[in-house]
Amino acid sequence: MKLRLLVAAADFGLMILLVAGADAAEIKLLSAEVMRHAVNELSGEFERMTGHKLTISYDSAGVIGNRIQDGEIADVAIIQKPAVEALSERGTITRGSIVNLARSGLAVAVRKGAPKPDISSVDALKSSLLAAKSIAHPNPTRGTASGVHFRGVIERLGITQEINAKAKLTTPPLAQFVAQNEFEILVTQAADILAVPSLDLVGWLPDELQDYDAFTWTAGVTANAKEPDAAKVLIQFLSSPTAAAVIKKRGMEPASP
């Protein structure tokens, strides 16, 4: 598919590459679960403006990375920046196609109306985690970025045994887990929390306990892409000002242009 025309797309607030006189493409996107809410909101607008069709598969960041590494056919992958860069070095993500889309981090939530714990400092967070009767968080063995990072946090705080003894491992979809399980504190990414109306966002973990590089969500064109040109159009759209507004609304910080 040959790109031949540059069209001003005022609806997006950017110049977006479109295909002139060519058949619409079907783009296969493999994405980390945390991007689900933003991408789902944006997908219809992208399809309407470009005529392309999106087929999207979501899973934990670790699983998506393994699927790309194992050679699954796709056009675009969205996972953590270090993982995308590593896949590029191995030749499974196209060099020069990598674009940062959003940054997130670990946050804390409680049920709507429940008292909010003090997480204003590392010591305050540690005390609140120890005082809670139950703590829900994603399962690190599934390769979820939130679960893996939270495991590192409690190890750093020296409270792994205490937290594991009262932990409840979340399962997707989060809204269903929240409806069916009791817990006092939930630790996951803010984008997941804001998508569940029955939760209140307490705030983000202190900066000292974040790893913003590992929670920078990055897109790249796969080396085996069947629609590489259309894939670049999708990535351009997902890094546009239009997409940035949705990403911010969904609890992440848009990447700088």
Question: What digits encode the pLDDT tens for the residues 184-210?
Answer: 999 999 999 999 999 999 999 999 999
pLDDT of residue 257: 53
Domain that holds residue 34: 5-103+213-254
Above 70 in pLDDT, residue 166?
yes
* Amino acid residing at 69: Q
Which whole number is the average pLDDT over 247-253?
95
Q: Which two tokens stand for residue 248?
A: 């911010």
pLDDT of residue 5: 33
193 and 135, same domain (yes or no): yes
Above 80 in pLDDT, residue 21?
no
* 256: DSSP letter: P
Contact (Cβ atoms closer than 8 angstroms) between residue 185 and residue 117: yes
CATH number at residue 16: 3.40.190.10
Considering the entire predicted model, what is its pTM? Answer: 0.85
197 and 135, same domain (yes or no): yes
21 and 53, same domain (yes or no): yes
Q: Which two tokens stand for residue 85?
A: 């860069």
Looking up tokens 């969904």 gives 250
Give the count of beta carbons closer than 10 Å to the beta carbon of residue 87.
21
Evaluated on CA atoms 42, 44, 49, 51, the torsion sign reads positive
Above 60 in pLDDT, residue 214?
yes
112 and 194, same domain (yes or no): yes
Say how many domains are in the chain.
2
123 and 192, same domain (yes or no): yes
95 and 170, same domain (yes or no): no
> How far, in Å, CA of 7 to CA of 43, rounded?
19
186 and 247, same domain (yes or no): no
Q: How confident is the model at residue 256 (pLDDT cuts 50, 70, 90)?
A: low
113 and 177, same domain (yes or no): yes
Which whole number is the average pLDDT over 99-105?
96
Above 60 in pLDDT, residue 8?
no
Q: Which two tokens stand for residue 204?
A: 């983000």
81 and 15, same domain (yes or no): yes
Q: Which residue in 93, 131, 118, 109 sits closest to 232, CA to CA?
A: 93
